[in-house]
Amino acid sequence: MLGDPVLINLVVAHGLEAKPLIALFDLQPQEDSDNVYVSNSGVRLIVTGMGRQNVEYSLAQWVETKPSARRDMAWLNVGIAGHQNLAVGDTLIANKIISGPDNESVFPTPIISGLKTGTVITVDRPELNYPKDAAYDMEAFAFWRSAAAFGPLDLVQSYKIVSDNPDSSTDKVTPNLIAELFDSASMEIEDLVLQLKALAAKQQSLVSDPPAFVSAKASYRLSVTQEIQLRRLCHRFYALQMGESLEVILSASHRDSRALIGALHAALGHADGNPGREGGESLSRVEAGGGQTERNQAS
């Protein structure tokens, strides 16, 4: 499903954390799922349930239902956490996530600007003593581990809103407080999502098929090798500022895909000021890979 328009997956543990995000990003329930919401602005929300096992299960299940989903989306875990030193309502983006039970650490890439950063320790039961200068949650480690296997590691991030600390215990964390905390952090969350969406969009644009390739692919029967060659050739034309030449060559009639690829190679060879050269290593492979294909339809 390479046409998946989603740029970022938000992951929360609880419905109370989901509710403000559903409103903020105008998310709608996804058909055939009771814990996934999508928007038409490139945002998806997955509600996993609390604790590491629920996160692992939910994300694995999501991937199972989307086996061909593109792998260049951003992932953002949003949730409340306790903290030893930060005030209720303070926020941070994790730059180190420690699995409390076994002390294993992972390190989200510090690619987000303008936010406070800090350590998050993922524990199996709510931490009431806050022994270290860190945020305490129940999902971040499992989230990061799971999401890093699906997406670009640099675009997997975890954002925490402090809900409790030594001066304000967990029993004060009510649905109303969570709503207030998310409301206060909404601009920051929007900005964070925008930053990650922009990075993901850039990544996706780099690996997306050029439009010229898509139309050529529809017109010619291509072997797998030829498809790779044609995609790269189209990228090269654009990179060399030769988009117009590409259009001209594609709009001309070619005997078959092999002839088309040969014509593209020849044009690039000339563009480099080397009419005598024919693309070095690549042309021989083009010729070896061609032959059995024919054009599907006349252009």
Partner 1 sequence: MNFSSVYIEDEIAETERVTDILARVGDIPRIRIERYGEIFNRAGQNFRLQKQAPALILAKKHGKKVLPAPEGYGFEQGSGFYFSHMLNCLYDCRYCFLQGMYRSAHYILFTNYEDFMHDILGQSAQAAGNVFYSGYDCDSLAMEPVSGFCNSFIPFFGNRPEMTLEIRTKSTQVRKLLEFDPLPNCVVAMSFTPEAAAKRWEHRVPAITKRLLAMRKLQQAGWPVAIRFEPVIAEPEVENNYARLFQQVFSTLNGELMHSVSLGEFRLPKDFHKKMVKLYPEEGLLARETICSDGMVSLAGGGAEMMQAIESRLLTHVDSSRYYRCA
Query: Does residue 279 belong to the site contacting partner 1 (CB under 8 A)?
Result: yes
Give the orientation angle of helix 140-150 with respect to helix 52-65, to 10 degrees: 20
In the three-class reduction of DSSP (H, G, I as helix; E, B as strand; rest coil), residue 152 is classed as: coil
In the three-class reduction of DSSP (H, G, I as helix; E, B as strand; rest coil), residue 113 is classed as: coil
CB 24 within 8 A of CB 190: yes
CB 89 within 8 A of CB 162: yes
Give the footprint of partner 1 on residues 187-246 (CB under 8 A). Answer: 199, 203, 206-207, 232, 235-241
Give the number of residues in contact with partner 1, rule: CB under 8 A. Answer: 40
Q: Give the one residue of 19, 66, 96, 295 binding partner 1; rule: CB under 8 A.
A: 96
* In the complex, minimum distance from the CB of residue 72 to partner 1, in angstroms, rounded to a whole number: 9
Stretch 241-270: interaction string toward partner 1, x if CB under 8 A? x--------------------------xx-
Pairing of strands 36-38, 28-29: antiparallel
The C-alpha R_g of the chain, in whole angstroms, comes to 25
All residues at 6 or more sequence positions from 263 whose CB lies less than 8 Å from its CB, including other chains? 249, 252, 254
Judged by CB under 8 A, the stretch of 31-39, 131-139, 145-153, 168-176 that binds partner 1 is 145-153
Q: Give the one residue of 33, 95, 219, 296 binding partner 1; rule: CB under 8 A.
A: 95
Of 287, 219, 215, 217, nearest to 258 by C-alpha is 287
Query: Does residue 273 belong to the site contacting partner 1 (CB under 8 A)?
Result: yes
Query: Does residue 19 belong to the site contacting partner 1 (CB under 8 A)?
Result: no
Query: Does residue 275 belong to the site contacting partner 1 (CB under 8 A)?
Result: no
Residues that bind partner 1 (CB under 8 A): 95-96, 105-107, 109-111, 113, 117-119, 148, 151-155, 199, 203, 206-207, 232, 235-241, 268-269, 271-274, 277, 279-281
